[in-house]
Amino acid sequence: MRGLAFALLALGVADLVWINASLGPRALSDQDPTTEHAPSLPEPAAIAQAPEPVPEAEPVPVPETKPVPVPVPEAVPEAVPETVPVPVPVPDPASTTVVFDLGTDKLDADAKDQLTEAIATLAADPDLRVELAGHADARGSDITNYRLGLRRARAVRSHLVRNGVDKDRITAYSAGERRPASRVDGEEGFRLNRRVELTIYQKDDR
């Protein structure tokens, strides 16, 4: 009898081990009355919360845009080019030299032709003045040559006045033989010294 009891007891322990292994730890704990079970808490119910109202944005006052006046450029008067007077060409003294024959103050045709240009220049500009210097060659006395040079200068002045040049614009004098144009002896040198030189200038230049 005792042997049978042990056999049943061993069989019961073996079954218990097999059940425990099959069910796992959970089954063992469920059958263990000493295991404390924490009460399962219900899942908190999801509380549907209404979204918080977004405060309506207040409109930002936009400053009134005032039209900016566009400056109108002042009309610049068109520049009028200044009228510059064209200078009247003044003949070179060499081109306004007239020569005379020996011992005379008479103007020949060539001398009058040379004076035509000077007359036109003086007529074009009333502010021009003319200076006449009479000369003679070295033959003869100083006083004779001085007087001859003066007669020659006066002959040219008379010709200019007859052709419309105011006598107040003319200065005439004699240099005699003291300022020869040529120092070459001989007729050619003498001819160049028997002359009247015209110098035309502006009245404010002297």
What ranges do the domains of the chain cover?
Answer: 93-205
Q: What pLDDT band is residue 185 in, cutting at 50, 70 and 90?
A: confident
pLDDT over threshold 80, residue 7: no
Q: Return the higher-pLDDT residue of 59 and 98.
A: 98
Residue % of the chain over a pLDDT of 90? 46
Between CA 167 and CA 155 the distance in angstroms is 12
Closest CA to 128 of 64, 204, 66: 204
**36 contact partners, CB below 8 Å, separation of at least 6:** none
**Cα 48 to Cα 148: distance, rounded to the nearest angstrom:** 143
In this prediction, residue 28 has a pLDDT band, given cuts at 50, 70 and 90, of: very low
Second CATH level (architecture) for the domain 93-205: 2-Layer Sandwich (3.30)
This prediction has a pTM of 0.54
Tokens representing residue 150 in the block: 């003066």
**pLDDT tens sequence across 98-136:** 999 999 999 999 999 999 999 999 999 999 999 999 999
Question: Residue for token digits 């060409």?
Answer: 89
Question: Average pLDDT of the chain?
Answer: 76
Q: What angle do CA 75, 80, 81 make, to 5 degrees?
A: 145
Q: Quick one: pLDDT at residue 11?
A: 54
Q: What is the pLDDT of residue 163?
A: 96
